[in-house]
Structure 1
């Protein structure tokens, strides 16, 4: 123990213990990327998403027998900010001629499967896109996933909106049910 003298009187000096450095946030922020064109590769996804920030990893899922793309992937970021920015700016953007759909990876699909905060939207105009559906419904709450069903590049006239809370879905349904959009009653 060190001693220092103050006014001729010995005073013990204690050195404060250094505080431990805060623990690094080692979480990975994972985004589901779906509705991919069958020709999209991992390199295409890296090129698209790296403009947002450093990518931890990319995994494009493929059929184990044929090697064909299953048309969805997970893109993982090191920071919440980069993942949120990618979700905000790249959702519904075109990659290889097709709009991609991005949402937070849901490790526990119970919310999606229970249907509590999910809406089925039918009688949509053939030109209605997933981006337009998301814009229309986003004023009622945080949307986890939004998609207009399509096959061979043509919409099927219906879509799905998944909110984070059931109350948001109920409010949206009450406000928009029966609304005329592009001449069609939803």
Structure 2
């Protein structure tokens, strides 16, 4: 199944009991708004549902209404389902903030701290591109009244981002010992970082369906 490029009309539904069928999900959500398509993954070996789904509606407004009605209000087999918006990841990379009520269709956003003054955007890109494909150019900025040079780097794939963190964190780069970790989410509650279970599930689905191209 191919998703619409307008991912704002797609919602993520989580915490689904595996006994719930695709037909039951359809019957539940069609009561709120017309459905364009549903992606409800199964484990390839066990052939059991994996506890989450993506449901695409005909408009962003339809998706938003479903979120308002269904998120944290409906129990299926004693599980309270979570319904959140999926937003476009590339747009999120270029934006100063994300929708606090939604989930970015996630790229892996890294925070790099204590860069040497000699490191520019092109050099930083070459360093991180060794581990996998990055999206857009890194963003360099300064903290602590301009003295501490930092950057954001955006990976397409969380597994490649994990490799970059493991290899580069606390290493010397141009005679500066840098730190590399996942960035805090914009408007995130409780100082949450990129890279949680939901981020990774969404990322795998996005890569599978070519939504990050």
TM-score (ref. length: structure 1):
0.46
Larger Rg: 1
